[in-house]
């Protein structure tokens, strides 16, 4: 079985590695430098924390568990450092309490954290300011470049390859798929897996397929969000993922931290001026310093805008697009969390020809006839990302 995977982000790379290890001959086709898409600008918090629809929760939980299993098997890209959530306002508390109740009902690991303990872990806050605090001990974050590198190492060890090539369109037929490359080249594969992230809609449209993503390009649109990286700081040993009412952060290697403030994303856009980025970065730095107890706000190394691949109804998309079952698509928000689980399920369906019940509610056929139920709201409140 000769398979092509279009796209070498977290999802495409994980899928390619699993396909190759299952015995397929796999070629990854990526037109850009690695990690130039969403995978290169992601908070990469691995969790099933606020995934409300049961099927989507189960899918994310399976992704979290596969990240943990990968760590146990010796892979180092997942950091199982846990996640501390601290509410400072009544509004945040009102969001946190039903979420925690739902997670406990589902059997998810949640631990109450006394206010004094939360204040000890985050020296910039006072215990009396804490309305509630909880810890999710099984969560963590992913070093996405390391995750992709590990996947490519597995892929190559199984005989696969990664090539720089622009795919213009796909021409599926009964005997496979003709892949038409930029420059006029044509190659034939038994099947193709499309993992092109935020470019999925436009890429597939060139081949006559319809998988709608949220393409709102307004300032503050749901796909856009700021991510700021500090220069190295001494943050009193804060090693976990932390989410609070006004700022979320996690370690980013070398003493740096990755910062996020959902309410500030009202100004997020890939074309955001330098002045806006500087102002947002300075505000995030101030909030971070206030929480971790730094004497001054840290300098920023970078303030980037991430672009989330958001399917039009907010749910993951995975499955074959054609009746001959030769073109498969995988695109989702929470792609870093879901990548190892989508890889395993796609391999089951593409290589072994089995139906994966876990994907029954996520098929691309739900968009037939141009339908796209539901609206994806921008993440603005604590825990919504």
Query: What digits encode the pLDDT tens for the residues 155-183?
Result: 999 999 999 999 999 999 888 999 999 98
User: Which segment of 34-38, 76-80, 106-110, 125-129 scores lowest on mean pLDDT?
Assistant: 34-38
In this prediction, what percent of the chain has a pLDDT beyond 90?
Answer: 90
CATH 3.30.9.10 domain position(s) in the chain: 84-140+217-307
| 385 or 337, greater pLDDT | 337
pLDDT tens figures, 262-314? 999 999 999 999 999 999 999 999 999 999 999 999 999 999 999 999 999 99
**Residue closest to 160 by CA, chosen among 5, 41, 39, 311:** 5
Res 250: pLDDT: 97
Is the confidence at residue 91, as pLDDT, over 60?
yes
Work out the angle between the directed axes of helices 10-21 and 144-157 (0-180°, nearest 10): 20
The answer to whether residue 6 scores a pLDDT higher than 80 is yes
Residue with more model confidence, 56 or 235: 56
Pair of tokens at residue 384 = 């919504």
- The model's pLDDT over 93-141, given as tens digits with 9 standing for 90+, comes to 999 999 999 999 999 999 999 999 999 999 999 999 999 999 999 999 9
Pairing of strands 317-320, 327-331: antiparallel
Which pLDDT belongs to residue 375?
A: 62
Q: What radius of gyration do the chain's Cα atoms show? A: 21
Per-residue model confidence (pLDDT) at position 370: 65
Burial (CB count <10 Å: 0-12, 13-18, 19+), residue 376:
buried
The 10 Å CB-count burial string (b at 16+, else e) for 76-97 is ebbbbbbbbbbbbeeebeebbe
User: Mean per-residue pLDDT for 43-59?
Assistant: 96
For domain 2-45+144-214+311-370, the question of CATH label 3.40.50.2300 is answered with no
Q: If you average pLDDT over every residue of the chain, what do you get?
A: 95
| This prediction's pTM | 0.95
Residues of the chain with CATH 3.50.50.60: 2-45+144-214+311-370
pLDDT of the residue at 295: 94
Percent of the chain with pLDDT over 70: 98
Domain 84-140+217-307 has CATH 3.30.9.10: yes
* Tens of pLDDT, residues 188-222: 999 999 999 999 999 999 999 999 999 999 999 99
Query: Which pLDDT does position 35 carry in this prediction?
Result: 79
Q: Of the ranges 5-9, 11-15, 178-182, 372-376, which one carries the lowest mean pLDDT score?
A: 372-376
Residue 372 has pLDDT above 60, yes or no: no
- Give the range among 33-37, 215-219, 227-231, 274-278 with minimum mean pLDDT: 33-37
Distances (CA, A) of 15 to 154, 189, 358: 11, 16, 16
pLDDT of residue 373: 52
First CA to last CA distance, the chain? 38
The answer to whether residue 351 scores a pLDDT higher than 80 is yes
pLDDT recorded at residue 34: 82
pLDDT for 380 equals 84
pLDDT at residue 369 above 80?
no
């Amino acid at each position: 079985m000769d398979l092509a995977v279009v796209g070498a982000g977290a999802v495409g790379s994980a899928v390619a590695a699993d396909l190759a290890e299952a015995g397929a001959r796999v070629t990854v086709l990526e037109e850009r430098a690695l990690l130039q898409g969403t995978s290169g600008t992601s908070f990469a918090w691995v969790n099933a924390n606020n995934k409300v629809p049961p099927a989507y929760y189960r899918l994310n939980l399976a992704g979290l568990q596969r990240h943990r299993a990968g760590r146990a098997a010796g892979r180092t890209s997942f950091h199982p450092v846990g996640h501390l959530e601290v509410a400072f306002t009544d509004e945040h508390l009102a969001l946190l309490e039903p979420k925690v109740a739902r997670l406990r009902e589902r059997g998810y690991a949640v631990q109450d954290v006394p206010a004094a303990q939360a204040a000890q872990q985050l020296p910039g806050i006072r215990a009396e300011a804490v309305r509630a605090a909880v810890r999710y001990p099984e969560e963590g974050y992913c070093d996405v470049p390391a995750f992709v590198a590990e996947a490519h190492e597995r892929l190559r060890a199984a005989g696969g390859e990664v090539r720089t090539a622009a795919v213009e369109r796909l021409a599926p037929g009964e005997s496979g798929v003709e892949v038409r490359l930029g420059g006029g080249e044509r190659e034939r594969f038994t099947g193709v897996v499309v993992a092109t992230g935020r470019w999925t809609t436009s890429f597939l449209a060139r081949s006559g397929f319809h998988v709608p993503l949220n393409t709102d390009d307004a300032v503050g649109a749901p796909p856009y969000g700021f991510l700021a990286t500090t220069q190295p700081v001494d943050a009193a040993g804060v090693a976990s993922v932390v989410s609070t009412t006004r700022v979320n952060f996690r370690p980013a290697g070398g003493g740096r931290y990755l910062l996020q403030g959902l309410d500030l994303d009202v100004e997020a856009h890939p074309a955001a001026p330098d002045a806006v980025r500087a102002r947002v970065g300075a505000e995030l730095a101030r909030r971070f310093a206030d929480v971790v107890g730094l004497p001054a706000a840290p300098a920023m190394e970078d303030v980037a805008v991430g672009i989330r691949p958001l399917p039009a109804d907010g749910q993951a998309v995975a499955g074959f697009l054609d009746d001959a079952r030769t073109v498969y698509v995988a695109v989702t928000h929470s792609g870093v969390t879901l990548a190892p689980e989508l890889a395993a399920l796609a391999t089951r369906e593409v290589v072994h020809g089995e139906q994966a019940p876990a994907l029954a509610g996520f098929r691309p056929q739900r968009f037939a006839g141009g339908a796209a139920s539901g609206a994806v709201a921008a993440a603005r409140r604590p825990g919504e990302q």
